[in-house]
A and B are shown apart, each in its own frame.
Chain A
């Protein structure tokens, strides 16, 4: 139990830059070192983590925890991965308040805001590359872009509309080969 907690604590502490960069670390500990999972199970977990709501880090911690110690394990692994962030960010927040009005810090952040836009753009491109290429998906990408940019309706509805269109498409039009191409 402690091992599970500390492993995910370490993963939370030593991962910079979001859930995707945790994947290699989780693989190292859960598959190679402690054999909590087989290679096949690991690949399944990543697939599930990517296709279900929520951050990849939490999804994979919950799933690995469940495999090891059922519900108790899920809770422990998730706590482990959350606590480092919580503590570090609270400390940084407290410091940040002090530098808030420093003019050089503001200059740096004026540049960083552009850098953040680049990072977000790259994330969008990366996720887009995984989308299967069809006319419907091109339409949905443009739909998301326009709705998001002009704030026409709340984003939650944009996502739901996309999902509902996907269901109709899959059930009514694309009746054949629906399962095969999704693995």
Chain B
């Protein structure tokens, strides 16, 4: 019982931290979530986490809330889902309340502007590093990136090229189409060969 309460508190605090450091929308959460969730062993493997990310992107609602709920529920049931979601919501809630009350001072402060200008290029760099890690995992069929026992997966490369091509067909194609197409290709290639 005590252990369960401690787990809930820990999940809340870690998602609170993730909420504070998510600059630039839900996708910016993925690197932080990957780091914390793997470190704490809240999913069985990175593959499961990537599956959660896929489903969170293809279901209604904000990605950040979906993925927080997923991980919380997976680890500690409905209470876990509520605690992780609260954790990720509360920082922005309070920060926005504060800004809504004193908006103009915030926006012209040179320290705030400098801070945001410094963060904004770092964030896409980190996000790209996670994308690279995920692609390499699939292409070389490895659990982590130690490459002790890797196997080159040509199908992963083909799925990557097709999905990337499709994602560039339209300016803002909906994520669910990419998930559906890559899922169908996975079923086809891995199922047949």
- Does A pair with B? yes
| Residue ranges of A at the interface with B (Cβ–Cβ < 8 Å) | 12-22, 44, 48-59, 62-63, 66-67, 71, 74-75, 78, 81-82, 84-86, 88-90, 92-93, 96, 104, 107-125, 127-128, 130-132, 136-138, 140-149, 151, 154-156, 158-159, 161-171, 178-179, 182
CB–CB B175/A16 < 8 A: yes
Q: Kindly state the separation between the CA atoms of A111 and B47 in the bound complex, as whole angstroms.
A: 11
CB–CB A81/B114 < 8 A: no
Residue of A20, A113, A182 touching B50 (CB-CB under 8 A) = A113
Whether B142 sits at the interface, judged by CB under 8 Å, is no
User: With a CB–CB cut-off of 8 A, which chain A residues contact B164?
Assistant: 118, 121
User: With a CB–CB cut-off of 8 A, which chain A residues contact B63?
Assistant: 17-19, 55
CB–CB B134/A117 < 8 A: yes
Known: A12-B62, A118-B167. A62 touches B129 (CB 8 A): no
The residues in B between 112 and 149 inclusive whose CB is less than 8 angstroms from any CB of A are: 113-135, 137-138
CB–CB B127/A124 < 8 A: yes
CB–CB B111/A171 < 8 A: yes
Q: Kindly state the separation between the CA atoms of A125 and B164 in the bound complex, as whole angstroms.
A: 12
Chain B interface size, under 10 / 10 to 19 / 20 to 34 / 35 or more: 35 or more
CB–CB A115/B178 < 8 A: yes
Q: Shortest CB–CB separation between residue B31 and chain A, in angstroms?
A: 5
User: With a CB–CB cut-off of 8 A, which chain B residues contact A138?
Assistant: 121
Residue of B30, B96, B135 touching A63 (CB-CB under 8 A) = B96
Q: Shortest CB–CB separation between residue A142 and chain B, in angstroms?
A: 7
Residue of B108, B133, B135, B186 touching A109 (CB-CB under 8 A) = B186
Q: Kindly state the separation between the CA atoms of A17 and B21 in the bound complex, as whole angstroms.
A: 21
Known: A22-B62, A118-B182. A58 touches B114 (CB 8 A): no
Q: Kindly state the separation between the CA atoms of A57 and B103 in the bound complex, as whole angstroms.
A: 19
Q: Shortest CB–CB separation between residue A93 and chain B, in angstroms?
A: 5
User: With a CB–CB cut-off of 8 A, which chain B residues contact A116?
Assistant: 50, 53-54, 57, 134, 179, 182
Residue of B91, B114, B119, B183 touching A108 (CB-CB under 8 A) = B183
User: With a CB–CB cut-off of 8 A, which chain A residues contact B182?
Assistant: 111-116, 118
User: With a CB–CB cut-off of 8 A, which chain A residues contact B100?
Assistant: 62-63, 66-67, 74
Known: A12-B60, A53-B92, A171-B111. A113 touches B138 (CB 8 A): yes
User: With a CB–CB cut-off of 8 A, which chain A residues contact B133?
Assistant: 149
Q: Shortest CB–CB separation between residue A57 and chain B, in angstroms?
A: 3
User: With a CB–CB cut-off of 8 A, which chain B residues contact A169?
Assistant: 114, 117-118
Q: Shortest CB–CB separation between residue B83 and chain A, in angstroms?
A: 11
Q: Shortest CB–CB separation between residue B124 and chain A, in angstroms?
A: 4
CB–CB B35/A19 < 8 A: no
CB–CB B92/A145 < 8 A: no
CB–CB A166/B119 < 8 A: yes
What are 22 sample pairs from A and B whose C-beta atoms fall under 8 A apart? A12-B65, A18-B27, A19-B26, A20-B25, A54-B88, A57-B61, A58-B88, A62-B92, A63-B99, A85-B62, A89-B55, A92-B59, A118-B163, A119-B57, A119-B175, A120-B30, A123-B127, A132-B117, A140-B122, A145-B129, A147-B129, A170-B110
